[in-house]
Amino acid sequence: MADVVGNLRVVLGEIEKAQRQRGTGEPVTLVAVTKNHGVELMRQAIDAGVKQVGENRVQEAAEKFAELERTVTKHLIGHLQTNKAKQAVRLFDLIHSVDGGHVAAALDKAALSVGKVQDVLIQVNLAKEDSKSGVYEENLPALIEFVDALQNLRLRGLMLIAPNYSDVENCRPLFRRMNEIFRAIQSRRENFDFLSMGMTHDYKIAVEEGANVVRVGTAIFGERIY
């Protein structure tokens, strides 16, 4: 059994340290990634002080949230299938994984049908990995324009999943570049607040380079068993 309370303390301490190193004073939000863990562990994390949870699959999240009996801010961090858009809009406060016009349009329609303005992030595939979804940097302006034209979505920022380099320092230039892109857009928009990047193996570097949302699972809950 993972020591969730102890692990959380370590992760929050590391975030604070990285934040100090960065020196901007901007707060960093921890999203505890509970995918593939039972609702019991989710409750335990919330009781230990977690305020935000992340799930990568709509169906799994729906089942767990139905039994949670706790209030928490809910994040969808995985790729969305458009046939799950309506359910996603009902369940999640922030959807990190808008990776193209198709998903954006489906979410907009779903948000309209449930009478909600859905907060979203655009996922950027900065390293152009075939195995990952996300828009390429050169297509980002067009996708932003597309999302802006949709009445029922509100674009809140950007999300990045860095490549799983064996030397994690190799992520640093990507995080730095992502932060530059994010800050440039932020300087000319309102409500563009969130740069979501950093997972267990790279969240310290991500925060040092400008992330203000990190998505951490393994470091809090231990290895996932699939």
- What does the binding site for ligand PLP look like in residue numbers (CB under 6 A)? 33, 35, 56, 77-78, 161, 199-200, 215-219
Is the CB of 205 or the CB of 216 nearer to ligand PLP? 216
Of 161 and 185, nearer to ligand PLP (C-beta) is 161
CB of 53 to ligand PLP, least distance (A): 11
Closest residue to ligand PLP in the complex (CB): 217
CB of 29 to ligand PLP, least distance (A): 13
Do 3 and 211 form a contact (C-beta atoms < 8 A)?
Answer: no
Distance in Å, CB of 33 to ligand PLP, minimum: 4
- Residue closer to ligand PLP by CB (options 28, 216) is 216
Q: Which is nearer to ligand PLP, 65 or 203 (CB)?
A: 203
Shortest approach of ligand PLP to residue 190 CB, angstroms?
26
Least distance from C-beta 136 to ligand PLP, angstroms? 18
Distance CA 20, CA 3 (A): 26
**Nearest to ligand PLP of 36, 139 (CB atom):** 36
Interatomic CA distance for residues 19 and 70, integer angstroms: 29
**Closest CB to ligand PLP among 74 and 215?**
215
Instruction: Tell me the C-alpha to C-alpha distance, in Å, between residue 129 and each of 61, 125, 132, 139, 163.
Output: 27, 7, 6, 15, 8
Least Å distance, CB 185 to ligand PLP, is: 21
- Burial (CB < 10 A; 0-12, 13-18, 19+), residue 100, is middle
